[in-house]
Structure 1
Amino acid sequence: MKRTTPTIRDVAAAAGVSVATVSKYMNGAQRFSAPVEARLKEAIEQLGYRSNPLARSMITGETRTIGLAILDIRNPYFTNIVKGANRIALRHDYTLLLVDTEENQEREQPLIEALAQRVDGVIISSRMQEDAMEWMTKLNKPVVLLGRNEQCPIPSVSNDSYLAGYMLARHLLNQGHRRIAYLGFAASRWDAERIRGAHTCLSEAGLKLDVHDAHAPSTLAGKAACSSVMLGPDRPEALICYNDLIALGFMKEALTLGFRLPQDLSVTGFDNVPYGEYAVPALTTVDLQSEKMGETAMLKLIDALAGKPDAGHVTLEPRLVVRESTARREEAP
């Protein structure tokens, strides 16, 4: 004979209480006397009852699910954000629902709007320019943005890209480099701030920053850009890359072209992705605390869902991580 799945009514009958009491106990909405809770616990365990999240969401209007929209799951920077956000979600009994927009700005809005209909709140990473994000305020759900937007009243968490760019430029100057270039990704909202930080630092030393652009924030784009930077008339002594993936692709191609690293070129990146430590040479970078960013964004969203006032924008401090891909400039004989 086929065993039937126990229902909330079965639990109520076994414990000698009402269905409403079982529901409130399961949802943590109300505490009861010790004897009543003991009977409820025993009935639930004996029957093997499990609450139906869909049914609960229809009653309460809550899904206990939080959406996270990221730009590229293949990029370890975003993987770390997911890891941090998921850790906090699980701690607060929420499930994370992930959407990868695949670096496609045209797909971002429809994907995020669809996601918002299925969750209690949304954390968003976006390549859109600040003046194009107003629609996010009309999702009718709490939203936390990864990266600050001065034009929209959306709670946000970001890292200090200006300071990170300044720190890398200062590190390279301290090593005696004077011809310093930047290989960026202009489509990113953070690219300009990283350039500004590096440019400010070099300007203070009376130097200029030579700026190049990669077509994507990927290892393949870094590899593709290498020959034009290294075989052109103004070959740099040191290079700041928009992220670690571009830097790693660039380094691989530079070695293929016969350049010695870091003797012929010091290379740096942003993000401190795990692979950078195991590259040859190991990559000097700025740790942007991506895992902590995911944790902080999730905490802000959970506070919003609980009706707590927003504490304002949070900026995470970058940390310089020096490895073997940068070295003091050797004087020409």
Structure 2
Amino acid sequence: MKRTSSTIRDVAAAAGVSVATVSKYMNGVQRFSPAVEARLKAAIEQLGYRSNPLARSMITGETRAIGLAVLDIRNPHFTNIVKGANRVAIEHGYTLLLVDTEENQTRERPLIEALAQRVDGLIVSSRIPDDSVQWMLDLHKPIVLFGSNRHFPIPCVGTDSYLAAYMLTRHLVNQGHRRFAYLGFGQSRWNDERIRGMQSCLAEHGLTAALYEGHTPSPQAGERACSSIMLGPERPDALICYNDLIALGFMKEARALGFALPEDISVAGFDNVPYGEYTSPALTTVDLQSEKLGELAMHKLIDALAGKSDAGYSPLEPRLVARDSTLRRTASSDTAPALTTPTRNGDSR
């Protein structure tokens, strides 16, 4: 009968070896003769012995855990990142430990520092400025960041926010829109890149956009801003939102105010969150490949843990997802001048 409280000493006695031999075998730090390993395996199975992960980490210096810090787990963009990262972690025998900083920059550092003590490496999405991450390097853990960093040689992954916004704006211009507005989230490092991409495309056609601030990357931000955008003296015919959550909140409030979508205004966002496809009308967006971002970040971190660190930036291409929340306006879009593809990539999510 298997014993549930067997100790490493019990295994050593049953196999006729030392406690150190059992420890080395269990932790994979040394191979033994086939006969010894066969006795060890038989004793472990007979006694039902399970090693203590804490004891194992004390011997090997490895926790077999990876820390992932995200800005808001309620946001499906980050939920998908977690799914992608966790999938790769499991494939490589790692456990994923998650920290949600809840869009609170003052909490980021203490939470990440505490997480670093429990893991072999870190994957971090942060609002901390690019030039203020030296303290992360001082944790002396392999680290991968979301978004490129121009100040430190840190492995980074992301999706080009400049190109994403340019693509989305080009689609709307092609549909005949001429009065643009952007509802953003200024605390994000990617907000400026999305504005740049949008304005670059608009400038090629002599167009401009009114800029509005949402203050949070949430549906509530879209709801709050809706009346000032829709009831103001210069109502836009196309609104680009910082993310899908803001766009969905805006659409909900616009309907409550009596506006028809997309007849009165076309609305689009970024992230391609899962339920954007099922709202009415379905939301036009840019797919930033969130799950693949998580997978790519985890692959880069596992490479770093194996001594194959690449401090470069690995981007994924954004993909336009055109749905019913944007509407072709007039025949003028058929005669609009040809649009070019941008040649300069911006920062990334």
Give the whole-Å Cα distance in 2 for the aligned partners of 1:108 and 1:84: 22
Q: Partners of 1:26 and 1:72 in 2: how far apart?
A: 38
Aligned pairs for 1:102-141 (under 5 A) are 102-141=102-141
1:194 corresponds to: 194
> CA–CA distance in 2 between the matches of 1:281 and 1:209?
23
Deviation at 1:102, TM superposition (A): 0.7
From the superposition, tell whether residues 110 and 311 of structure 1 become closer, same or farther in structure 2 (CA, over 3 Å). closer
For residue 210 of structure 1, give the secondary structure of its aligned residue in structure 2.
Answer: strand
Q: Deviations 1:148-192 (Å, cap 9, x if unpaired)?
A: 111122111111000000010000011111111111100100000
Give 1:159's aligned residue: 159
Q: Which residue of 2 is the match for residue 100 of structure 1?
A: 100
1:1-333 correspondence to structure 2 within 5 Å: 5-310=5-310, 312-330=312-330
How many residue pairs are counted as aligned between the two chains? 330
Q: Which amino acid aligns with 2:288?
A: L
Alpha-carbon distance, 1:139 to partner: 1.1
TM-score by length of 2: 0.91
Alpha-carbon offset, residue 330 of structure 1: 4.5
**How far does residue 4 in structure 1 lie from its aligned partner after superposition?**
6.4
What is the one-letter code of the residue matched to 1:285? T
Task: Give the distance between the partners of 2:150 and 2:85, measured in 1 at CA.
Answer: 23
Q: State the TM-score, normalizing by the size of structure 1.
A: 0.95
Asked whether the equivalents of residues 263 and 330 of structure 1 are also in contact (C-alpha less than 8 Å), the reply is no
Q: Which runs of 5+ in 2 are unaligned?
A: 333-349
> Does the CA-based 8 Å contact 2:11-2:44 persist in structure 1?
yes
Alpha carbons of structure 1 residues 291 and 231: separation in structure 2 relative to 1, 3 Å: same
Deviation at 1:221, TM superposition (A): 0.8
Q: Does the CA contact (< 8 Å) of 2:4 and 2:47 recur in 1? A: no
Residues 181, 212 of structure 2: 8 Å contact kept: yes
Q: Percent identity?
A: 75
Distance 1:285 1:169, change over 3 A: same
> How far did residue 36 of structure 1 move?
3.2
What is the alpha-carbon distance in structure 2 between the residues aligned to residue 287 and residue 262 of structure 1? 20
Structure 2: how far apart are the matches of 1:31 and 1:160?
47
Question: 1:270 is paired with a residue of what secondary structure?
Answer: coil
The CA deviation string for residues 113-168 of structure 1, in whole angstroms up to 9 with x for no partner, is 11112211111110122122222121111111111111122111111000000010
Check whether the contact 2:244–2:272 (CA below 8 A) recurs between aligned residues.
yes
Q: Give the residue type in structure 2 aligned to 1:102.
A: E
TM-superposed CA distance for 1:64, in Å, is: 1.1
For residues 265 and 330 of structure 1, the distance between their equivalents in structure 2, rounded to whole angstroms, comes to: 13
1:212: Cα distance to partner? 0.9
Matched-pair contact (CA < 8 Å) for 2:120–2:141: yes
Give 1:297 deviation, angstroms: 0.9
Q: Which one has more relative contact order, counting CA pairs under 8 Å at least 6 apart? A: 2
Distance in 1 (CA, whole Å) between partners of 2:191 and 2:92 is 34
Q: Write the letter of the residue equivalent to 2:30.
A: Q
The 10-residue stretch of structure 1 (120-129 or 160-169) with the greater mean CA deviation from structure 2:
120-129
Q: Which amino acid letter does the alignment assign opposite residue 78 of structure 1? A: F
Deviations 1:51-88 (A, max 9, x none): 10011111222111111111111101011111111111
- Counterpart of 1:233 in structure 2: which amino acid? P
Question: Distance between the aligned counterparts of 1:113 and 1:86, measured in 2?
Answer: 21
Letter of the 2:298 counterpart: M
Aligned-partner SS, 2:166: helix
Q: Which stretch has the larger CA shift, 32-41 or 146-155? A: 32-41
Q: Which runs of 5+ in 1 are unaligned?
A: none
Mapped partners of 2:287, 2:268: distance in 1:
11
Find the aligned partners of 1:24 and 1:320 in 2 and give their Cα distance.
Answer: 52
In the TM superposition, what whole-angstrom CA distance separates every residue of 1:251-297 from its partner, at most 9, and x where no partner exists?
00011111111111111000000110110001010110111111111
CA distance, structure 1, for counterparts of residue 201 and residue 104 of structure 2: 33
Structure 1 residue 241: deviation in Å? 0.4
User: How far is 1:331 from its partner?
Assistant: 6.8
Once residues 305 and 331 of structure 2 are traced to their aligned partners in structure 1, the CA distance between those partners, rounded to angstroms, is 59
Query: 2:36 & 2:329 partners in 1: Cα distance?
Result: 75
Letter paired with 1:49: Y
Q: Distance in 1 between matches of 2:100 and 2:309?
A: 29
Of stretches 109-118 and 183-192 in structure 1, the one that deviates more from structure 2 is 109-118
